[in-house]
Chains A and B, each alone.
Chain A
Amino acid sequence: MSCNPYMPIPAKLENVVRETANIKTFFVRPAKPLAFKAGQFIALTVPGIGEAPFTPSSAPAVSEKMEITIMRVGRVTEKLHALEPGADLAIRGPLGQPYPLEKYYGREVLIVGGGVGLAPLRALLFALLEDASKYKKIIVRYGAKTPADIVYRKAVEDGWGRKEMDVMISVDKRDAGWNGNEGVVTKILSPDKLKCNPKEGVAVVCGPPIMMKFATLELLHLGYAPENIYLSMEKNMSCGIGKCGHCRLGPYYACKDGPVFTFDRIKNLPKIWD
């Protein structure tokens, strides 16, 4: 962290890879190594334009540089998408709380992603794979709007080259070349598609609010305990350190106490899916 917690350190944009029509992965090198843990986020600044929060999508073990997969959706991401390699950026973090991986040891870990929501989950996946033997099983269920909206498509389709992983994809709407599952992601969360023991497992979900809502309902229905469902709450995280007030969620600040919350902590709060 810089000596002023609101101020970032310089960073360089080294490379840009297009994932889909409106999603790109940015390869960023901070001026000083910036170590983060899976689940934590950073604030990325386009100098003179503004700052926005993102969860890195690369392996947390690497601190010299990171990959951040970003959808073009607002003022800052619009500018980011227009940048070329070599551009000056600035970065602040790590912010927020990491996934409590030690609680996952010896258990089946189900990762449920929707759209660009797979991006932050990729960092978690890399952290899990680093120590794969510690977990009973790693399962990925990913939903995208169309085949063209699948991020990291090649890697996802061959299960990151790891045969022990159980990966399944579904698209809301198929195209001519698609032979896989069709339908919203909850379709591939049904008991016949999911050979696991929900009562003892943990589920980690990230995606658009509507997908998070229905995925959570499905997971509860399957028998996952509310305290074993980990949700990434998308709120307006500005300062990232629990001071500016924008991301309040009941008695919590999403930036400081989250952004990942287990369902039991937030289930009674109003309007969590908005």
Chain B
Amino acid sequence: MVPSFFSSQKETVVYKLEKTRLDDFLGAIAKGREVYALERAESQYHLVRSDSWQAGKHTLGAFRQVEPLKALVFRPRELLGSLGSAALGAPIPERIVIGAKNCDVAALKIHDHVFLNTEPVDPSYKEVREKTIIVSCDCTDAREVCFCPAVKEQPYPKTGFDINLAPTDLGYVVEAGSERGKQLLKKAENLLSAADAAILKERDQNRQKISKKVCAQTEKMGLTCGADLRQAVEKSQGKKIWDDFAADCVECGACNLICCTCHCFLLADGKGKNNTASRIKQWDSCLYKNFAAVAGGANPRRHRAERLQNRFDKKFSFFPEILGSYACDGCGRCVEACTGKIDIREVLKRAVNEL
């Protein structure tokens, strides 16, 4: 039985952490683990690897970092082994991610479904996932491209984290979201006190405020929060909308690679050291022309418009059908990455308007 990283338990353990003790707290829970934390770079954050929490250099971040969190658990390129000896790579160390935002955490639900909860289990994903502690954090600000309320998400995590931190003027609300999160908090017990009503109220007000902000900027774009995107995308099948947006697509695949939920990959064979046959698994993009082509030459998505439509179909029809949720968490990375300046919000807006 594979453990679920997304618990449905309502009973949570909530503490208060004084503002001045944040670095001590993170230092304590990160001790002995490989650390992935956020580092500010101008108006952005990057996810960087380190061997400890570094006060002053690392930050919890106000919004999500540039790199999708999926890259840690579903690696961009992985050597599966050489034929005949399916040896996996060296075991990976225990790790902790600090400062992950809800879009990225929620996206792991998709990857867990594909690689962990659907037999056969992907052994490398399982190992990495089990060794990665997730310390998430509420968003306190949003990027202009953020639109999570339109895809039934919100700028703070409800599930999927081991520990969540909610910054407030009265300190941090520290919440354990899993058994291992609870255990880890014991390491820093001396820094925590019971969360009082005042700080919880403050947290809830902050959450409402940031949710309103992201919702308002999404609706300013013309995309209504709560609109039925599944129906809009399903009804758009074969319509002109896809030709129009695909006219700007250059098939670079950036939207897929930067996406926090995209999980498609390629198995490719080659010859490694000593001329041994080996196999790699690496990220693939459904916008590439031959993504669905077969050896005989048949290609169900010969045209770019069909491939663009397929990307939306996978996110807003396929995953709602098989998993009950969109495979889009509103992180907006694809908006920033797109070479052709195709804005997913514009696409969804038009699909909804043409219903």
Contacts and interface: CB of A to CB of B under 8 A. Distances in A.
A10 B292 contact: no
A241 to B, nearest CB: 6
Contacts of B317: 251
Contact of A6 (B80, B238, B293, B322): B80
Interface string B100-128: 00000000000000110010111110000
A4 B269 contact: no
Contacts of A100: none
A7 B83 contact: yes
Contacts, number: 117
B275 to A, nearest CB: 8
Nearest to B281: A6
B86 A48 contact: no
Interface stretch (B29-37, B206-214, B220-228, B294-302): B294-302
Nearest to B269: A50
Contact of A243 (B81, B115, B123, B293): B115
A208 B296 CA distance: 9
B296 A4 contact: no
A4 to B, nearest CB: 4
A181 interface: no
Interface stretch (A120-128, A182-190, A230-238): A230-238
A243 B265 contact: yes
B291 A246 contact: yes
B131 interface: no
Nearest to B299: A274
B80 A7 contact: yes
A90 B83 contact: yes
B55 interface: no
Instruction: Report which residue of B83, B281, B317, B321 has the largest number of chain A beta carbons within 10 angstroms of its beta carbon.
Output: B83
A45 B296 contact: no
B67 interface: no
Chain A interface mostly: loop
A75 interface: yes
Contacts of A159: none
B318 A251 contact: yes
A49 B263 CA distance: 24
A244 interface: yes
A74 B267 contact: no
A242 interface: yes
A114 interface: no
A234 B115 contact: no
Contacts of B284: 244-246
Contact of B270 (A6, A10, A48, A270): A48
Contacts of A75: 295
A176 interface: no
Contacts of B302: 274
B271 interface: yes
Nearest to A270: B237
A82 interface: no
Contacts of A10: 83-84
A241 B295 contact: no
Interface of B: 80-81, 83-84, 86, 88, 114-115, 118, 120-124, 237-238, 263-271, 275, 277-279, 281, 284, 286, 291-296, 298-302, 306, 310, 314, 317-318, 321-322
Interface of A: 1-8, 10, 45, 47-52, 73-77, 90, 208-209, 234-236, 238-239, 241-248, 250-251, 270-271, 274
